[in-house]
Amino acid sequence: MAIDYTKYPLPRTRRHVSANQYVPHSQLRVNLDYYPPLIERCAWDELFSHAQTPLQAPSYLDIGCGMGKFLLETAQNEPSVNVLGLEVRKYAVEWIQGVIEGESIGNAACLWYNVTNGMQFIESASIERIFYFFPDPWFKRRHFVRRAFTAAFLDECARVLKPDGTFYLMTDVPAVDEYQRTTLAKHGKFSFAYSESDDDWGLSVKTDQEVFSIRKNIPYTRMKCRLL
Ligand SMILES: C[S@@+](CC[C@H](N)C(=O)[O-])C[C@H]1O[C@@H](n2cnc3c(N)ncnc32)[C@H](O)[C@@H]1O
């Protein structure tokens, strides 16, 4: 059933996210008392409450899931698949968790986490689909350190993805698109190709940012990456 999002008022004050929260913990130059916890292990059976998959581990990963529309609706559409969101903004995670509870979406979960700290809590070759949609652009060169899409991030994506899995990208920022293509080409472990048609793309649910781009007529690219 379609989620009635009006039942879940958005937080009034959105707690400021310090730029330092985007930096990997090992590179922090200041002591932060407010930083997403580092995660080494996850008790999947405590995160996912339905019992359809034997291991309870996630098969889809939505990295930087924002306010979670894609995560929640994908989980609803595919009840036998566990979908995990990773998001650095705590208020977004708390809001998503409220919707998951309110709608009893037992195959969706969301963690407050900065993905630049690696995905060691996810088993190798266990993920069918990774979604990385509309990342924060960080336009200025001195802010590039906050971009999550690095060789180390791609190493982690390559490690957790199943050999026949798919890594999906979308962006509406041409400079980010170019940066991602260059980083992928240098990294060398993925083939990548734009998806021009909805049939090729194959995902029916749209993200919040995608809906916004469509409404405002902002062009965006869709790309599918596969392990070589
Ligand atoms: C522009 S929003 C897009 C949200 C959603 N994917 C969509 O398409 O509507 C980018 C999201 O990525 C999150 N993000 C940025 N860097 C991150 C990181 N290192 N770890 C986890 N989430 C991150 C931001 O907090 C933000 O919610």
User: pLDDT of 101-156, one tens digit each?
Assistant: 999 999 999 999 999 999 999 999 999 999 999 999 888 888 888 899 999 999 99
Q: What angle do CA 52, 56, 59 make, to 5 degrees?
A: 95
Catalytic residue among 45, 62, 136, 172: 136
Domain contains 11: no
Q: What is the pLDDT of residue 225?
A: 98
**Angstrom distance (rounded) from CA 82 to CA 57:** 7
Is residue 18's pLDDT more than 90? Answer: no
Is residue 52's pLDDT more than 80? Answer: no
Q: What is the pLDDT of residue 51?
A: 57
pLDDT in tens, 53-100: 555 899 999 999 999 999 999 999 999 999 999 999 999 999 999 999
Whole-structure pTM value: 0.96
pLDDT, average across residues 8-32: 82
Q: What is the pLDDT of residue 30?
A: 82
Domain contains 16: no
Domain contains 203: yes
Range of the domain at 152: 35-227
Q: What is the pLDDT of residue 137?
A: 87
pLDDT, average across residues 203-222: 98
Using a 10 angstrom Cβ sphere, with 0-12 exposed, 13-18 middle and 19 or more buried, the burial of residue 75 is buried
Q: What does the mean pLDDT of the chain come to?
A: 93
Is residue 222's pLDDT more than 90? Answer: yes
Measured from CB, residues less than 6 Å from any atom of ligand 1 are 22, 64-66, 86-89, 92, 114-116, 133-136, 148, 207-210
Ligand 1 atom, smallest distance to 89 CA: 25
**Angstrom distance (rounded) from CA 143 to CA 154:** 19
Domain contains 165: yes
pLDDT in tens, 182-212: 999 999 999 999 999 999 999 999 999 999 9
Domain contains 183: yes
Residue nearest to atom 24 of ligand 1 (CA): 64
Q: What is the pLDDT of residue 29?
A: 82
Between the CA of 158 and the centroid of ligand 1 the distance, in Å, is 20
**178 token code pair:** 């170019």
Q: What is the pLDDT of residue 13?
A: 63
Chain-centroid distance of CA 169 in Å reads: 10
**Angstrom distance (rounded) from CA 216 to CA 228:** 36
Q: How many structural domains is the chain composed of?
A: 1
Is residue 3's pLDDT more than 90? Answer: yes
Domain holding 106: CATH number? 3.40.50.150
DSSP three-state, residue 22:
helix
Domain contains 20: no
Q: What is the pLDDT of residue 16?
A: 64
Q: What is the pLDDT of residue 141?
A: 85
Domain contains 6: no
Catalytic site includes residue 33: no
Ligand 1 atom, smallest distance to 135 CA: 10
**14 token code pair:** 């959105």
Q: What is the pLDDT of residue 28?
A: 86
Q: Tokens 């990548």: give the residue.
A: 192
**Angstrom distance (rounded) from CA 220 to CA 173:** 7
